[in-house]
Amino acid sequence: MTETARTVLLRGGEIHTPADPFATAMVVEGDSIAWVGSEGAADGFADGVDEVVRLEGALVTPAFTDAHVHTTANGLALTGLDLADAQSLADALSRIRAHAAARPGDRVLLGHGWDDTRWPEQRPPTRTELDEAVGDRPLYLSRVDVHSAAVSTALAATVPGLPGLAGYHPALPVARDAHHAVRTAAYSTLSPAQREEAQRASLARAAALGIGSVHECAGPDINGEADFLGLLEVAREFAGPRVVGYWGQAVRTAEEAAAIRHDLGAHGAAGDLCADGSVGSHTAHLCDPYADAAHTGNGYLDAEAIATHLAACTEAGIQGGFHAIGDAANDAVVAGARFAAERLGLERVRAVRHRVEHAEMLSPGTIAGFAQFALTASVQPAFDAFWGGPEGMYAERLGAERAAGLNPYAALLRAGVPLALGSDAPVTPLGPWAGVRAAAFHRTPEHRVSVRAAFTAHTRGGWRAMGRDDAGTLVPGAPADYAVWTAGELVVQIPDERVANWSTDPRSGTPGLPDLTPGGELPRCLRTVVGGREVYRAA
């Protein structure tokens, strides 16, 4: 909010609001929405406001919330070595050599985003290949899912006892405890100035995409306390999106849970408290073995540990939650929630709105458990866009039949499970309209949801996921977090192919949204406002 509260009238556009499906104007007073309505009624406000914004037909929506972000890592990918679009292993190695040559002063070379399943070689870089590319310099390259990393010999040598840690391999990428150790070593070399530069770049990118809030999923094995506290400080000073911080550390008592909020300023003890790993790195915890590996991945927390954490958080009145991808991991989360409810009572557990990040492999029984215990599913539709389908990475790792069951958004919504959409950036890029499109045009048709449902999950759903029901929508009294977009004809798209896919009939009374049919151009952000304060304006 600006130092002096201002009143702004926006008029001559399309206001996406449940208050009036035909609204074309909106008044903002200070940091709140004051009024929405028709163009004719807007005349009565014109002389009493500090500013009139003429929309010229632009669309105004609530600002998006990205419910799962790693802000510093995303900023490093934006400003440093990003291998997400490397076309082959050879291409990746060439980029690594060029990056090393261009950054002679870096204590540790950092990169992200390689995905061997997209390369013709179908394998990750070996340590020998990395050493040939960078010589005797430390190098850390997180895989696209950030659950394993390729490292040079020089970096591995800086971590005492690394060969004895779970997930270590002398020639190939490291995972599990070994990965956590080398990531800590690599990120510890960042100066405060480098961290802040990355954080500001990440938040600026979010603002330019119409994102008004991000949920930072941090933790001791992700980025450390200094990074987390620094980010919250940057967010207080920087004219950008709101940052809601989650700290993924297991607790045993209500006092430990309360300390996470008091000492760190975290909203909850949730986010990337990992019950397992990822499908791409073969570390997601499965009930049955992988199709391309003779094991079931890694479970990091059992049901009893999950119950202890959720009970402690419930008693402290703060959100708890977990990263869970595989079916065994999600089953463990539901079992833990059940144990916690038996100890404290179902309604107490439900009231805190604990959350599960990713929630990809879910049986009908597990979905029912999510609904029973009011667990929010914080999901990333771009995962399906990147790795779904019969030829995608999921099918390679799991087989086509199991892969087709991943990310069942329609079933979650039918069961009454709250959804919050995000990107897990830098795992997949920030891009909320792309996320809405991916949910509405899921590679498995039975999992598709309407554009409206996906949009709601990416706006209001993010606020609800942090326990607020009064935000994420443009109605009087709500926070003035909104974005202005260029958009074509507004439509009402639904996922059921048996009926018309969209309707422009105004008699439906349903506010329209941009046509997100794959292949078409996504809306472009013109302006982003957070708490009544402009944080982005297109040039």
* Position 493 in a domain: no
The stretch 40-67 carries a mean pLDDT of 94
Does residue 200 share a domain with residue 115?
no
State how far the Cα of 169 lies from the Cα of 123, in Å rounded to an integer: 15
Same-domain pairing of 298 and 344: yes
Domain count, the chain: 3
Return the axis-axis angle of helices 176-187 and 224-237, rounded to nearest 10°: 50
The pLDDT of residue 400 is 96
Identify whether residues 288 and 311 lie together within a single domain. yes
pLDDT one-digit tens code per residue, 90-131: 999 999 999 999 999 888 999 999 999 999 999 999 999 999
* Nearest Cα residue to 26 out of 44, 10, 49: 10
Please indicate, yes or no, if residue 388 is contained in any of the structural domains: yes
Give the structural domain span for 252: 192-466
Q: Kindly state the average pLDDT of the residues 232-238.
A: 95
How confident is the model at residue 241, as a pLDDT?
Answer: 98
User: Residue 506: its pLDDT value, please?
Assistant: 47
Q: 353 lies in a domain?
A: yes
Does 483 lie in the same domain as 408?
no
Predicted pLDDT at 189: 86
State the average pLDDT over residues 3-17. 89
Angle at alpha carbon of residue 224, lines to 223 and 230, rounded to 5°:
90
Q: What is the pLDDT of residue 216?
A: 98
What whole-number distance in Å separates Cα of residue 64 and Cα of residue 233? 22
Tell me the H-state helices in 24-103: 39-42, 71-79, 89-102
Residue with tokens 């179902």: 346
211 shares its domain with 165: no
Average pLDDT of span 353-368: 98
Residue 505 — very low, low, confident or very high, per pLDDT cuts 50/70/90? very low
Confidence band of 83 (pLDDT split at 50, 70, 90): very high
The one-letter amino acid at 457: A
Q: pLDDT > 90: what percent of the chain?
A: 86
Pair (301, 409) in one structural domain: yes
pLDDT exceeds cutoff 70 at 503 = no
Residues 212 and 179 in one domain: no
Note whether 36 and 138 are same-domain residues: no
Flag whether 1 is in a domain.
Answer: no
Average pLDDT, the chain: 94
Q: What is the 3-state secondary structure (H, E, C) of 334-397?
A: HHHHHHHHHHHCHHHHHHHCCEEEECCCCCHHHHHHHHHCCCEEEECCHHHHHHCCCCCHHHHH
- My answer on whether 26 and 143 are in the same domain is no
pLDDT at 340 over 70: yes
Mean pLDDT for 182-206 is 92
pLDDT at 1 over 90: no
- The domain boundary, picked from 189, 223, 244, lies at 189
The answer to whether residue 289 sits within a structural domain is yes
Distance CA 83, CA 80 (A): 10
Supply the pLDDT for residue 489: 86
Asked if 100 and 198 sit in the same domain, the reply is no
In this prediction, residue 511 carries a pLDDT of 84
State how far the Cα of 482 lies from the Cα of 470, in Å rounded to an integer: 14
Predicted confidence (pLDDT) at residue 495 exceeds the cutoff of 80:
no
Instruction: Answer yes or no: is pLDDT of 4 > 90.
Output: no
pLDDT above 50: residue 501: no
- List the CATH number of the domain containing 387: 3.20.20.140
Note whether residue 501 is domain-resident: no
Q: What is the pLDDT of residue 389?
A: 96
For residues 423 and 528, membership in a common domain is answered with: no
pLDDT of residue 498: 43
> Are residues 49 and 127 part of one domain?
no
Distance CA 131, CA 50 (A): 61
Residue 378 within a domain = yes
Provide mean pLDDT across the span 186-192.
Answer: 87
Residue 96 lies in a domain: yes
SS (H, E, C) 106-153: CCCEEEEEECHHHCCCCCCCCHHHHHHHHCCCCEEEEECCCCEEEECH
Banded pLDDT at 2 (limits 50, 70, 90): very low
Q: Write the pLDDT tens digit of every residue in 508-527.
A: 567 889 999 999 999 999 99
pLDDT at position 496, please? 61
pLDDT-wise least confident of 338-342, 484-488, 494-498:
494-498
* Whole-prediction pTM: 0.91
